[in-house]
Amino acid sequence: MAKMTPRTLSGFMELLPAPQQQMERIMEILRKTYSLYGFTPLDTPVIESSEVLLAKAGGETEKQIYRFQKGDSDLSLRFDLTVPLAKYVALHYNELSFPFRRYQIGKVYRGERAQRGRFREFYQADIDIIGDGKLDITNEAEIPSIIYQTFSTLGLKRFQIRVNNRKILNGFYAMLGLTEKSADVMRTVDKLDKIGPEKVKTILVEDFAVSESDADEILKFIAIKGSNAEVLTALEGYTGRNEMFDQGLSELNTVVKYLADFGVPAENFAVDLTIARGLDYYTGTVYETTLLDHPEIGSVCSGGRYDNLAEFYTDKQLPGVGISIGLTRLFYVLGEQGMLNPELPTAPADVLILPMTEDLSPAIALATQLRQAGIRTQLHCEQKKFKAKMSYADKLSIPYVIFLGEDEISVGVVACKDMKSGEQTKLNTQETIDRIKAGLAELEKGSVIVE
Amino acid sequence: MAKMTPRTLSGFMELLPAPQQQMERIMEILRKTYSLYGFTPLDTPVIESSEVLLAKAGGETEKQIYRFQKGDSDLSLRFDLTVPLAKYVALHYNELSFPFRRYQIGKVYRGERAQRGRFREFYQADIDIIGDGKLDITNEAEIPSIIYQTFSTLGLKRFQIRVNNRKILNGFYAMLGLTEKSADVMRTVDKLDKIGPEKVKTILVEDFAVSESDADEILKFIAIKGSNAEVLTALEGYTGRNEMFDQGLSELNTVVKYLADFGVPAENFAVDLTIARGLDYYTGTVYETTLLDHPEIGSVCSGGRYDNLAEFYTDKQLPGVGISIGLTRLFYVLGEQGMLNPELPTAPADVLILPMTEDLSPAIALATQLRQAGIRTQLHCEQKKFKAKMSYADKLSIPYVIFLGEDEISVGVVACKDMKSGEQTKLNTQETIDRIKAGLAELEKGSVIVE
């Protein structure tokens, strides 16, 4: 028979078993951490009606959409988890209680140009808190805590959550009479890290007709650096000139004030006036998270406050705040950087049992006992040589191998080899279980990510 | 602004938060149980190249495929998890160790006619064991154990795993010289429960030209009932006439022999000669699982042994055995039948903290402490009346509410109300944590499914 050459589409991550185990571990930590903060899991369809999904979209986004006809229906695959959330909240408004806190970890689809580290199918891990009409600033103050908890549970230490407030930026540009140009100005300022202050000034003056003195004011403003207290003090100097600015500064003060109570260490947090996060969606606090040793990766967790989640679907005012982790890309980058802890178990089983008797009953009964004790157990009953079976355990990094022969069965013990240390014990079943469990606890001690 | 009416496509399950929590709990149990048996998680793309995915498909399946163009690519959404597994194993053959045991819980897509309880996007939860060239019968004996463990951990008691062996059926039909008609005969016999033996006989004789005496033989054969021992003894009477039959019976004997060692109670297992599971894919043991009180649902977990997983992709002989749970449909049916335990917590949080002071620091610090203790905690800092906040906790079924006012803070206690009993305590933080944890353990005691 002619064979079809098997292949996986480019831009689609398909992991081998060992890295998949690491990915699962990360997802489990995300689910647990998000749950600790009172977020409920949601699972919306991957396919939506195009007219519903694309009610807001346009331009660059629309080009990337996987959109197709099925029968009479014009369908699209979701390209993020925010639009489906907006649809969900608008559709189920009467059945939800607000503030509505949900997390969703799911695949989204964007037909981007394929290149290394760019994915067309990728996981996003989102949390959002949606208010009905109003949403207290405390929610914005809580977000850095969730980011901190998530990344430190994963094992990261050298990361920084950078925070700004769009009201401060908008208020500042309003002071200069630059409100209409603020989108262009922010987009230019966003390039500061890449092109430097002089080039920024040139673009502001030449391309967007900002006056020399205003451009200097802008550069002076975004150059405000220092500890959080120093930045906040410097910002105090701008108060009393624009109401929006003052409100933004008050919000930023609140966010900073509660940091310690929320358990965020000062070194993992910075007020950073250069952060703007896109152009019109965000209206209050905005967040970016960078790995201090890998600034080239960019932000690994971003988001912010918005005033109107679902304006394309409902008249209800639904303000919210949310963040998103681009999980597939993050996982890829961590792998590239050698930051995934190779010491953590990635085997499909904790124990491989090699029955050495014709009658398999004792080996099967032992497997059943181990599983009842919560130990992931595989029986290896294939007709293969002993050496091949040991090599199988070795290749899969299965930490323990149990040999069960007539000798062991007759005296009621189990021969168990620790594959790492090479140490072999002959203990009864319960003692063997205890030893394996202690060993596994030791193996599981490390964090998923190492720096 | 004109609004787009939000809607979710028909045939796509989108759950409200409370049932979604129940679904998550089921998925967690599946992941844990499959892992206990040494299966490793996989996650293959939802989209595949059409020529790869449809290498085997045809007829009815092909019509249901979500297939579309994107740029120059002819793409399709996966319609099951078996074809992607075949592709995966053929593609990554050199990087895998065999037997290869994987589980995958993922969404698949079939554009079926929309009707109540039928889904176009639905989860399948599959396990498969793939051998390289050979695969021992012990794997087939282990499958009922996994089914039993899965469903009993979910809380089901009144279910039965029905097992047959295709070699027994094929061998039996070969004895009668009906090999060429065996597909038609099995398809007819499959209707036995619905149309009764007389109608089956009429179809066999009139539509498929089976002789009267052969038809009687067939009916007599599939009427073999009784305990496993009785059925196996009756089958002994047919041995010595066909090699394939004898091999099938020997396999079935092995499967039954190891049941008790694998921890499967006799009442949850039955040899059932009427089970055939489709036509040409399966070659050995086949499985169906029925809920004894809901036979109308049909099989909730099915599968079997096959000899050639990936023949469309590779020359390698890759025999395997696997089972699949149609999770979305099962969840829907359990809900319809009122079998989802309403007593289990479905709230987004275990505790809702209502700060009663202007300064939120003590409340936030308390939330941080509770979260560190593993308690899912939500702060409610919105500008709302006390009554509205209590009603929020009530609507979401949050089990504990904590009030933190000046009085409590000054004496170092926490006022905590058990929302179910109404009992309110004033204890210090650690004592409150202990009380909540004990209460939660009690709440979590039940199983997901109740009969």
DSSP alpha helix (H) spans, B126-281:
137-154, 166-175, 182-189, 192-208, 212-222, 228-236, 243-257
Least CB–CB distance from A12: residue in B47, B51, B372: B47
Q: Tell me the shortest Cα–Cα distance from A314 to chain B, in angstroms.
A: 6
Least CB–CB distance from B45: residue in A4, A12, A71: A12
Provide the mean pLDDT of chain A: 95
Provide the mean pLDDT of chain B: 95
Q: In what order do the strands lie in the sheet with B302-306?
A: B40-41, B100-109, B121-130, B320-326, B302-306, B282-291, B159-165, B269-271
In A, which residues are within 8 Å of B57 by CB distance?
none
**Average pLDDT in the B149-166 region?**
97
At B281 the pLDDT is 85
In B, which residues are within 8 Å of A379 by CB distance?
138, 142
pLDDT digits (tens, 9 = 90+) for B378-422: 999 999 999 999 999 999 999 999 999 999 999 999 999 999 999
Q: Is pLDDT of A104 > 90? A: yes
Q: Is pLDDT of A279 > 80? A: no
**Residue carrying structure tokens 């036995």:** B192
Report how far residue B439's alpha carbon sits from residue B424's, in angstroms, rounded to the nearest whole number: 13
At B114 the pLDDT is 72
Are B382 and A135 a contacting pair at CB < 8 A? yes
CATH topology of domain A351-443: Rossmann fold (3.40.50)
Lowest mean pLDDT: which of A26-40, A209-223, A401-415, B272-286? B272-286
Q: Is B110 assigned a ligand-binding role in the annotation? A: yes
Q: Is the peptide bond before B99 cis (omega within 30 degrees of 0)?
A: yes
Of B149, B58, B134, B128, which is closest to residue B86 (Cα–Cα)? B128
pLDDT digits (tens, 9 = 90+) for A47-86: 999 999 998 866 667 789 999 999 999 999 999 999 999 9
Q: Is pLDDT of B261 > 80? A: yes
Residue B340 sits at φ, ψ, to 5 deg, of -90, 120
Please provide the size of chain A in residues. Answer: 451
What is the complex's ipTM, to 2 decimals?
0.96
Q: Is pLDDT of B280 > 90? A: no
Domain ranges of chain B: 17-336, 351-443
Are B368 and A261 a contacting pair at CB < 8 A? yes
pLDDT digits (tens, 9 = 90+) for A298-345: 899 999 999 999 999 999 999 999 999 999 999 999 999 999 999 999
Confidence of residue B265 (pLDDT cuts 50, 70, 90): very high
- Which 8-state DSSP code applies to residue A340? B
According to CATH, the superfamily of the domain at B17-336 is Bira Bifunctional Protein; Domain 2 (3.30.930.10)
Lowest mean pLDDT: which of A277-286, B38-47, B69-78, B155-164? A277-286
B424 membership: H or E segment, kind and range: strand B424-427
**Average pLDDT in the A172-192 region?**
90
Are A6 and B314 a contacting pair at CB < 8 A? yes
Confidence of residue B59 (pLDDT cuts 50, 70, 90): low
In B, which residues are within 8 Å of A12 by CB distance?
45, 47
Confidence of residue B103 (pLDDT cuts 50, 70, 90): very high
Mutation site for A-interface testing, chosen from B376, B377, B390 by largest number of A Cβ within 10 Å: B376
At A1 the pLDDT is 67
Mutation site for A-interface testing, chosen from B43, B107, B397 by largest number of A Cβ within 10 Å: B43
Q: Decide which of B101 and A182 is more confident.
A: B101
**Average pLDDT in the A141-157 region?**
97
At A133 the pLDDT is 97
Are B392 and A87 a contacting pair at CB < 8 A? no
Are A262 and B368 a contacting pair at CB < 8 A? yes
